[in-house]
A and B are shown apart, each in its own frame.
Chain A
Amino acid sequence: MLKTKPKKIENLLEVIRDCIWTGRYRDTMHAVQRKNERKIILPEIIYVLNNDRHYEETKNRKRINL
Chain B
Amino acid sequence: MIDIMRKQKTEKELIYEGLGFPVVLKNVPMIEVRGKWTLNIHLNVLQKMVLLSLAHHPYDLTGNQIRFIRNWLELTQSAFGKLFGVTHPAVVKWEKTENQGSKMNLTTQRDLRLWLLDKLLKEDDEFRKAFKVVHMTIFSSNPQLLEFDASTDLEAV
Contact = CB atoms under 8 A, between A and B. Distances in A.
Contacts of A41: 18-20, 67-68, 71
Contacts of B45: 23
A36 B40 CA distance: 20
Q: Chain A: interface residue count, which band?
A: 20 to 34
A29 B72 contact: no
A59 to B, nearest CB: 13
Given A28-B33, A29-B36, A42-B18, A23 B74 contact: no
A23 B72 CA distance: 15
Contacts of B42: 23
A10 interface: no
Contact of A32 (B18, B31, B47, B76): B18
Contacts of B47: 42-43
B84 interface: no
A44 B36 contact: no
27 contacts: A23-B43, A25-B43, A26-B31, A26-B33, A26-B39, A27-B38, A27-B39, A27-B43, A28-B33, A29-B36, A29-B38, A30-B36, A31-B18, A35-B18, A39-B20, A41-B19, A41-B20, A41-B67, A41-B71, A42-B18, A42-B43, A43-B47, A47-B71, A55-B74, A55-B75, A55-B76, A56-B77
